[in-house]
Amino acid sequence: MHRLSDRSGPPVVRPGARQVGHSSGGSSGRVRRRPAPFAGPARVTRTAGQDVPAHPVRGGYEICPVCFWEDDGQDDQDADAVPRGPQDRWVWWGGGMTFEAERAALLEPGRLWSAGEVLGKPGPVPAVPGVYGWRFGAAPYDGLAVGELLYVGIAPRRMANRTSRQHLRSRVRYHFRGNAEGSTLRLTLGCLLGLELRRVGSGRRMTFGVRGEAELSAWMAEHARVCWVAYPKPWLLESALITGLDLPLNLDQNKHNAFHPTLKALRAAARQRARELPISG
């Protein structure tokens, strides 16, 4: 986000600009300028106490010669958006929204929390918006790292036309004790562990059944550990984390990850198999 600072001095005429409507009456005349195709700096910007040419094209990822800021074309009115950079990657700001503290809280947490601790009352997880991260003491699938951050999730989801009531406490607790229909993390882990996905109820919901969900909850109680960081707009932080880190268990926004095709295929195969089986009682 490159903000143009105050401008001083007379206007700079673009090279090749044609002056029209000039009065012969001296200072009372008015000058109008019709811009020609760009042939040089359009104006002078005062930056860091110096007069330097402003960037000729906004959003062109030019580097300021004085402050070395990269101009991504973003301004105050869209400061909360997460723009894509010139390589179609999410931009990490050199100032402002760097997420450095939040990244550190998830990559190097002061401690990790178990199912027993999270599900206890009152429990340590705050009822606020934020991002949570998961590690596992045993690999749910060959080749996945043990003890490393493998998945991040958010609460609440970004919703265009209504406000979600979800928060960190409700989502983290649900992942530990819910079912695969309401938890994409549980769906992923169950598929990786080889549990059988089944249609339940009317046939539109898919879970691992009573026995399978209980088995998954027991596995998570033994091996899964979670940490979190509060953040008012967690979807912004989530997007940056998924793009900048190796998070193999995230599917959304994560096609660049090497494990993405494997995980996507395993989940698709489990769903297809569930459709072929009768509804589970």
For the chain, what percent of residues have pLDDT higher than 70? 64
**pLDDT-derived band of residue 76, with 50, 70 and 90 as boundaries?**
low
The residues pairing with 226 across neighbouring beta strands, listed in sequence order, are: 113, 134
Q: Are 221 and 176 in contact (CB under 8 A)?
A: yes
Joined together, the tokens standing for residue 196 give 């059988």
pLDDT of res. 253: 96
Residue 257, C-beta contacts closer than 8 angstroms, at least 6 positions apart: 246, 247, 248, 250
- Kindly tell me if the per-residue pLDDT of 172 is higher than 80: yes
- The per-residue pLDDT for range 82-97, each reduced to its tens digit, is 544 443 334 443 334 5
pLDDT of res. 215: 98
How far apart are the C-alpha atoms of 115 and 204, rounded to whole Å?
29
Q: Are 134 and 183 in contact (CB under 8 A)?
A: no
Spell out the SS3 assignment of 258-276: CCHHHHHHHHHHHHHHHHH
- 3-state percent helix, strand, coil for the chain, nearest multiple of 5: 30, 15, 55
H/E element holding 224?
A: strand 224-230
Residue 36, C-beta contacts closer than 8 angstroms, at least 6 positions apart: 14, 15, 16, 17, 18
How far apart are the C-alpha atoms of 179 and 208, rounded to whole Å?
8
The pTM of the full predicted model, rounded to 2 decimals, is 0.67
- The per-residue pLDDT for range 222-261, each reduced to its tens digit, is 999 999 999 999 999 999 999 999 999 999 999 999 999 9
- The per-residue pLDDT for range 136-153, each reduced to its tens digit, is 999 999 999 999 999 999
- Kindly tell me if the per-residue pLDDT of 169 is higher than 80: yes
**pLDDT-derived band of residue 101, with 50, 70 and 90 as boundaries?**
very high
Domain boundaries defined on the chain? 1-79, 100-276
Q: Which amino acid is at 76?
A: D
Mean pLDDT of 9-34: 41
Across the chain, what does the average pLDDT equal? Answer: 79
